[in-house]
């Protein structure tokens, strides 16, 4: 709910600024610079994600995207109507939530709009199980979008980044008891016990390469 809360507050603030016709050139300049910084960070995050990398931390990329969009809303509220590319860019960013609302009202777009909204705004739940100082196993679930968590291998890379290899195991259940034992420098022994959705107990006992991320 953090994403929805921040974006909602930013949108309401932007509407308030427009209604009150607030003129704050210094604040507008600072917000524009702030917005550009998070635009660059968001683009980098998307490129990294496509290539299986990310910034360190479980919610870092989502926070960059949230601050990018939120600062864009506020910047639109502080901007006066102009005929230039910058104003049209901010107006289109501000209009995006309206487009989603229209999509919800149209029956043939409702399902797609709901899925898009959940993907963009629903916060994921992460849990990490440390293997050593450089590796960890991560579970990720996103509400109703994922029936079971995704199990990934996370490796520290280049100070600020990490490599994420998804689907190293697929037990079809949330983790219960987890035991990780590193074997040498290139693999980890995973022992996991979890309750199945149809009753009974699911057990996983396997060895996974640390850098490839596929089950032996």
**Average pLDDT estimate for 38-56:** 94
Paired tokens of 193: 């016990």
Distance, CA of 104 to CA of 23 (rounded, Å)? 34
**Average pLDDT estimate for 156-164:** 89
Whose tokens are 């229209």? That residue is 102
Quick one: pLDDT band at residue 15, thresholds 50, 70, 90?
A: very high
Distance, CA of 144 to CA of 119 (rounded, Å)? 10
Is residue 138 within 8 Å of residue 151, measured between CB atoms? yes
**Average pLDDT estimate for 155-174:** 88
Q: Residue 142 carries which DSSP code?
A: -
Quick one: pLDDT band at residue 195, thresholds 50, 70, 90?
A: low
pLDDT at 200: 63
The pLDDT of residue 198 is above 80: no
Question: Cα 27–122–173 angle (5° rounding)?
Answer: 150
pLDDT at 199: 56
pLDDT at 138: 93
CA distance to 9, 100, 115, 179, per residue, from 120 (Å): 17, 11, 9, 33
Strand ranges in the chain using DSSP code E only, listed in sequence order:
53-55, 125-130, 135-141, 150-157, 161-165, 177-183, 187-195, 201-209
Is residue 59 within 8 Å of residue 126, measured between CB atoms? yes
pLDDT at 94: 94
- The per-residue pLDDT for range 128-154, each reduced to its tens digit, is 999 998 999 999 987 666 778 889 999
Q: Residue 194: how many CB atoms within 10 A of its CB?
A: 19
Is residue 118 within 8 Å of residue 142, measured between CB atoms? yes
Whose tokens are 């022994």? That residue is 189
The pLDDT of residue 49 is above 50: yes
**Average pLDDT estimate for 115-137:** 87
pLDDT at 88: 94
Q: Is 215 helix (H, G, I), strand (E, B) or coil?
A: coil
Per-domain boundaries in the chain? 2-121, 125-209
pTM over 0.75: yes
Distance, CA of 186 to CA of 1 (rounded, Å)? 38
The pLDDT of residue 98 is above 70: yes
Is residue 47 within 8 Å of residue 61, measured between CB atoms? no
The pLDDT of residue 215 is above 70: no
The average confidence (pLDDT) of the chain is 88
The pLDDT of residue 162 is above 70: yes
- The per-residue pLDDT for range 166-188, each reduced to its tens digit, is 989 888 888 888 999 998 888 99
Whose tokens are 């901007």? That residue is 79
**Average pLDDT estimate for 32-59:** 94
Distance, CA of 33 to CA of 40 (rounded, Å)? 11
**Average pLDDT estimate for 155-167:** 90
Q: Residue 145 carries which DSSP code?
A: G
């Amino acid at each position: 709910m953090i994403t929805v809360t921040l974006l909602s507050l930013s949108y309401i603030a932007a509407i308030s600024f427009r209604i009150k016709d607030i003129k704050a050139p210094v604040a507008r300049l600072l917000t524009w610079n702030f917005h550009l910084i998070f635009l660059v960070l968001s683009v980098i995050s998307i490129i990294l994600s496509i290539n299986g990398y990310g910034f360190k931390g479980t919610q870092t990329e989502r926070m960059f995207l949230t601050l990018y969009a939120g600062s864009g809303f506020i910047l639109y509220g502080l901007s006066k109507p102009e005929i230039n590319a910058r104003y049209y860019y901010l107006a289109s960013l501000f209009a995006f939530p309206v487009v989603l609302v229209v999509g919800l009202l149209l029956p043939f777009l409702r399902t797609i709009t709901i899925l898009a909204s959940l993907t963009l705004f629903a916060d994921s739940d992460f849990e990490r199980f440390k293997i050593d100082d450089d590796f960890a196993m991560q579970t990720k679930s996103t509400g109703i979008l994922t029936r079971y968590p995704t199990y990934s291998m996370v490796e520290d890379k280049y100070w600020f980044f990490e490599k994420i290899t998804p689907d190293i195991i697929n037990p079809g259940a949330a983790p219960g008891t987890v035991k990780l034992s590193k074997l040498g420098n290139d693999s980890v022994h995973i022992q996991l016990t979890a309750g199945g959705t149809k009753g009974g107990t699911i057990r996983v006992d396997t060895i996974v390469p640390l850098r490839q991320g596929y089950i032996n």
